[in-house]
Amino acid sequence: MTGYGKASAEYNGKKITAEIKSVNSKAMDLQTRIAPIYREKEMELRSLISTTLERGKVDFSLYIERDDANAATPINRMVVKSYIQQIRALAEDFELEDPEEHWIPTLLRLPDVLTRTDTVELSEEEWTVARSVAEKAIHALMEFRRQEGAALQKKFAEKIANIGTLLQQIEPFEKARVEKIRARIIEGLEAIPEVQYDKNRLEQEMIYYIEKLDINEEKQRLANHLRYFTETMENGHGQGKKLGFIAQEMGREINTTGSKSNIAEMQNIVVKMKDELEQIKEQVLNVM
């Protein structure tokens, strides 16, 4: 969901610029900073952004930059003229000295001498330009997201393949594990002096114990989750939450496999699987 976009256009002596950036969020969290003249269109802009981006913590700005010729605040000549007339009338009425040498600094401090005369009415023509700028910025952000998404898909495919390979590496240790468990139990019993035991009963108990440590179901479910993750990832847009749920299920099967793996070789493989899955979980938050 991370991305950045910016676009600008010239209109009637001013530069209209839109900037938008987004980071991860479970829902749409939109913050806007919009030039006063475009405030009446805020709901339209919010709808456009929310519909297009769907999720993410989004910051959007739409502002105006003026060229140097128009940047200075204009002096209101009519107000200045009126002030001069009033000051001269006061000086005459109260027989005061005409303060001609102090005209400029005095007048510039008086109210409404320096005022913006810009119209606050937004024309359809200007709004068409401004909306187009906003759409271009959003499109640039979406393109950024698509590029990030392609890189993430490649990374996910690599991590899923790694977990699949590690899952296959567990198999050779399973048979050896059964023999090790059997040998360890018998060795323990034989180490106790003057202990008699029923070999048939021991065999039954060992079968029961080994069945409890069997991980075939976990392996099968994990393989299914790996396949389902890949299918979902390739299915298209808007699958981020679903991929997160599948990753959680994968973690559950890996953890159960680890709890049943009572030999070092299998546990080492499980640790590697957890590491690969953790990298998937960190990045799946970036997916729409």
HEC profile of 131-185 = HHHHHHHHHHHHHHHHHHHHHHHHHHHHHHHHHHHHHHHHHHHHHHHHHHHHHHH
pLDDT number for residue 173:
82
As to burial, measured by CB atoms within 10 angstroms (0-12 exposed, 13-18 middle, 19+ buried), residue 228 is middle
Confidence at 224, pLDDT banded by 50, 70, 90: very high
**So what's the pLDDT on residue 67?**
63
* pTM, two decimal places: 0.64
Provide the 10 A C-beta neighbour count for residue 158: 12
What's the pLDDT score for residue 85?
83
Instruction: In whole angstroms, give the CA distance from residue 161 to residue 165.
Output: 6
* Residues 13 and 46 sit within 8 Å (Cβ to Cβ): no
Q: Which residue has the tokens 């739409």?
A: 62
Distance CA 42, CA 62 (A): 10
Question: If we measure between CA atoms, which residue out of 23, 1, 24 comes closest to residue 142?
Answer: 1
The pLDDT tens digits for 137-171 are 999 999 998 898 889 999 999 999 999 999 999 88
Residues forming a β-bridge with 230: none
Residue 130 · residue 16 · CB < 8 Å: yes
* pLDDT digits 0-9 by tens, 5-25: 999 999 988 899 999 999 888
Angle at CA 49, nearest 5°, toward 229 and 6? 100
Question: Position 175: which residue type?
Answer: K
pLDDT value at position 238?
66
- Work out the pLDDT band at 55, boundaries 50, 70, 90: confident
pLDDT band at 185 (very low <50, low <70, confident <90, very high): confident
Return the domain boundaries, the chain: 3-70+126-145, 75-109, 149-284
Contacts of 25 (CB under 8 A, 6+ apart): 1, 55, 56, 57
Please name the residue ranges forming H helices in 72-123.
Answer: 77-93, 103-109
What is the residue-averaged pLDDT of the chain?
84
Alpha carbons 256 and 253: distance in angstroms, whole number: 5
If pLDDT is split at 50, 70 and 90, which confidence band does 40 have? very high
Over residues 230-235, mean pLDDT: 88
Each residue of 95-134: pLDDT tens digit?
777 666 666 777 767 776 666 555 558 899 999 999 999 9
Q: For the domain 3-70+126-145, what is the CATH code?
A: 3.30.230
CA distance 13 to 66: 7
Q: Is the pLDDT of residue 228 over 70?
A: yes
- Inter-residue contact 168 to 273 (CB < 8 Å): no
42-53 and 124-190 helices cross at what angle (nearest 10)?
Answer: 30
What confidence score (pLDDT) does residue 79 get? 80
Task: Tell me what pLDDT residue 212 has.
Answer: 73
